[in-house]
Amino acid sequence: MLKKFLPNEHVKSIFEITPERLKEKGIKGIITDLDNTLVEWDRPNATPKLIKWFESMQQHNISVTIVSNNNEDRVKAFSDPHKIPFIFRARKPFTAAFHKALTRMKLNKTEVVVIGDQLLTDILGGNRSGFYTILVVPVAQTDGFATKFNRMIERRILNWFKRKGMIQWED
């Protein structure tokens, strides 16, 4: 059961994920979380560096869809200026929003990667849906109330994976 929390890959930042690297894996689409994956949970807009990352993906014909548990106002205000499709109140780790994003992208599961900063929502939901998953280190050191609880559980799961030799990265 705990293996459903194990990401396929771990990176320190979204910026380590390049279109060239994704293309090598046959990836044509990204389902990504928003808060603490792309920007801090309390930052309303994309940073200039993130805007360039979005543009780079677009130039390489890699679709990006934001799938967030946050409310419509938050996700829409972030996504609309960059014309990025989104799904709000996704209820991750339930799988419906992941499948909805896949349908909208008109891609196969094997052509899409799920990226997020939380094991209990992004990685579990992506794995349950059958996607390749990438865990990123959270952008901010602070979290909203519900996420603080999730992080406590995540630390226990990550420690278990480390003891079993299933992960080698540092926190």
d(Cα 90, Cα 94) in Å, to the nearest integer? 8
Higher pLDDT, 43 or 57: 57
Q: What Cα–Cα distance (Å) separates residue 16 from each residue in 24, 90, 134, 162?
A: 14, 25, 11, 23
> Residue 9: inside a domain, yes or no?
yes
The parent domain of residue 42 ranges over 2-163
pLDDT at 24: 96
> Residue 170: inside a domain, yes or no?
no
Residue that is written with structure tokens 């801090």 in the block: 40
DSSP code of 42? T
> Residue 89: inside a domain, yes or no?
yes
CA max distance for the chain: 44
Give the CB-side neighbour count of residue 119, counting CA atoms within 13 A.
22
> Residue 55: inside a domain, yes or no?
yes
Q: Is the pLDDT of residue 130 over 60?
A: yes
Joined together, the tokens standing for residue 154 give 């995540």
d(Cα 160, Cα 52) in Å, to the nearest integer? 37
pLDDT at 1: 64
Rg, the chain, Cα only: 15
Q: Is the pLDDT of residue 171 over 80?
A: no
CATH code of the domain covering residue 19: 3.40.50.1000
Taking only the tens place, the pLDDT of each residue in 58-95 is 999 999 999 999 999 999 999 999 999 999 999 999 99
Structural domains counted in the chain? 1
d(Cα 168, Cα 131) in Å, to the nearest integer? 21
pLDDT at 142: 66
Give the 3-state secondary structure of residue 55.
Answer: helix
Taking only the tens place, the pLDDT of each residue in 4-54 is 999 999 999 999 999 999 999 999 999 999 999 999 988 889 999 999 999
* pLDDT average, residue stretch 123-145: 89
CA nearest 135: which of 51, 2, 10?
10
> Residue 39: inside a domain, yes or no?
yes
> pLDDT band at 106, cuts 50/70/90?
very high
Q: Are strands 86-87 and 132-136 parallel, antiparallel or unpaired?
A: unpaired
CA 16 to chain centre: 13
